[in-house]
């Protein structure tokens, strides 16, 4: 039996991308667990920011929603959504964490609809704060649990949240703040970044027991591959213990 499940692996990988002392927009799901784990391990001074008003929560207990009590438990400030989003728009928030139903090679994300806009085949929740996080944070980390061709598509049905749009310079041309955009993509198969010149998605790390061919086969667009690939580290026993016993003891996610 495996020592850990896929969700646990993703949480640990996402946590490893969080720097001590950085500011990070934390959304529902894996980012919350990753932030809590990072704070309990290598990044105790990570400043978790929640869109409805919490800044710097302790994350001793796992929030279930982006506005609830635990998002500002022992925080330094409890304000409101305009203040938080304006803070991001001013350039204060380093990292944003995003999920998506579909993603393309430029890191554009869809969380709005599948099919035509009206009437849609599947109505998804909509942008929520995702478009704002994707517009204003310096570096966005995208977490896609299932890496397959249904999610990694040549063209998203609806571009909810901006990645690099149509390629180099497109964000700036559209009026988005310069030098922002997608930074990493964490998936069930791999770790990916965006090649600096073309802004196209690039494979940089493989999860254990995954091959390059497997990642390519499960990606619906032509994937760039870095010259030197790393193998993403497996969770340590200590990370798993903290995750299971302290971060999510009620097993909401893991």
Partner 1 sequence: MNILESGIGELFQPPDPDGFREWVHKHKNTRMVSKVMSEQEAIARLVKDGDYIGTELYGTVRGPMSLIRELVRQGKKHLRVAGQGIHEIDLLLAADMVDALDITYIGWEVYGISHILRRAVESGRVKTTEWSNAAISWRFKAAAMGVPFIPVRSMLGTDTLKYSAAKVVEDPWTGKPICLLPALYLDVGFIHVHQADEFGNCRIEGISGFAFELARASKTLIVSTEEIVPTEEIRRYPERTILPYYLVDAVVLAKYGSHPGEMCYRYWRDEEHLLQFYKDSADPEKTRAYLDKWVYGCKNHDDYIEKVGIERLKQLEKMIGGR
Interface positions with partner 1 (CB under 8 A): 28-29, 50-54, 61, 64-73, 78-82, 85, 89, 108, 112, 117-132, 135-136, 158-162, 165, 170-171, 173-177, 252-253
Q: How far apart are alpha carbons 105 and 237 in whole angstroms?
A: 34
Which residue lies nearer to partner 1 by CB, 42 or 73? 73
**Least Cβ distance, residue 226 to partner 1 (angstroms):** 27
- Indicate the burial class of 234 (C-beta count within 10 angstroms; 0-12, 13-18, 19 or more): middle
Q: Whole-number minimum distance, CB 235 to partner 1, in Å?
A: 22
Distance, in Å, from the CA atom of 80 to the CA atom of 51, rounded to the nearest integer, reads: 8
- Name the residue nearer to partner 1 (CB basis): 182 or 205: 182
Compute the distance between CA of residue 59 and CA of residue 145 in angstroms, rounded to an integer.
23
The first and second tokens of residue 203, run together, are 């494979």
Taking the complex as a whole, the smallest distance from the CB of residue 243 to partner 1 amounts, in Å, to 17
* CA 74/CA 55 separation, integer angstroms: 9
Phi, then psi, of 36 in degrees rounded to 5: -65, -40
- Rounded Cα–Cα distance for residues 250 and 254 (Å): 9
Q: Active site includes 68?
A: no
In angstroms, rounded to a whole number, what is the distance separating the alpha carbons of residues 136 and 176? 8
Least distance CB 18 / partner 1 (angstroms): 21
Q: How far apart are CA 152 and CA 185, in angstroms?
A: 11
Q: Is 177 helix (H, G, I), strand (E, B) or coil?
A: coil
Q: Is residue 110 within 8 Å of 157, Cβ to Cβ? A: yes
CB nearer to partner 1: pick between 112 and 187: 112
Q: Which of 129, 141, 138 is nearest to 10 (CA)?
A: 141
Cα 136 to Cα 181: distance, rounded to the nearest angstrom: 8
Which one, 85 or 203, has the nearer CB to partner 1? 85
Nearer to partner 1, 4 or 106 (CB): 106
Least Å distance between CB 117 and partner 1? Answer: 6
Instruction: Give me the catalytic one of 8, 19, 51, 213.
Output: 51
- What residues are annotated to the active site? 51
């Amino acid at each position: 039996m495996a020592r850990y499940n896929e969700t646990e692996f993703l949480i640990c990988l996402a946590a490893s991308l969080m720097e001590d002392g950085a500011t990070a927009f934390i959304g529902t799901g894996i980012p919350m667990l990753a932030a809590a784990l990072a704070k309990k391990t290598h990044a105790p001074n990570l400043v978790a920011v929640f869109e409805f008003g919490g800044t710097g929560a302790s994350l001793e207990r796992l929030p279930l929603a982006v506005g609830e009590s635990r998002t500002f438990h022992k925080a330094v400030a409890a304000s409101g959504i305009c203040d938080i989003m304006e803070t991001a728009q001013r350039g204060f928030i380093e990292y944003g964490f995003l999920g998506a139903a579909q993603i393309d090679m430029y890191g554009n994300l869809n969380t709005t609809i599948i099919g035509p806009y009206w009437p849609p085949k599947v109505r998804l929740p909509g942008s929520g704060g995702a478009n704002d996080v994707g517009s204003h944070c310096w570096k966005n980390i995208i977490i896609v649990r299932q890496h397959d061709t249904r999610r990694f598509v040549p063209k998203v049905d609806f571009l909810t949240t901006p990645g690099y749009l149509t390629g180099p310079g497109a964000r700036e041309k559209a009026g988005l703040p310069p030098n922002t955009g997608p930074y990493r993509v964490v998936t069930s198969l791999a770790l990916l970044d965006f090649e600096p010149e073309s802004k196209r998605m690039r494979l940089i790390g493989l999860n254990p027991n995954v091959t390059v061919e497997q990642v390519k086969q499960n990606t619906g667009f032509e994937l760039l591959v870095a010259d030197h690939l790393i193998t993403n580290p497996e969770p340590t026993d200590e990370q798993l213990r903290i995750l299971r016993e302290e971060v999510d003891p009620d097993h909401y996610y893991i």
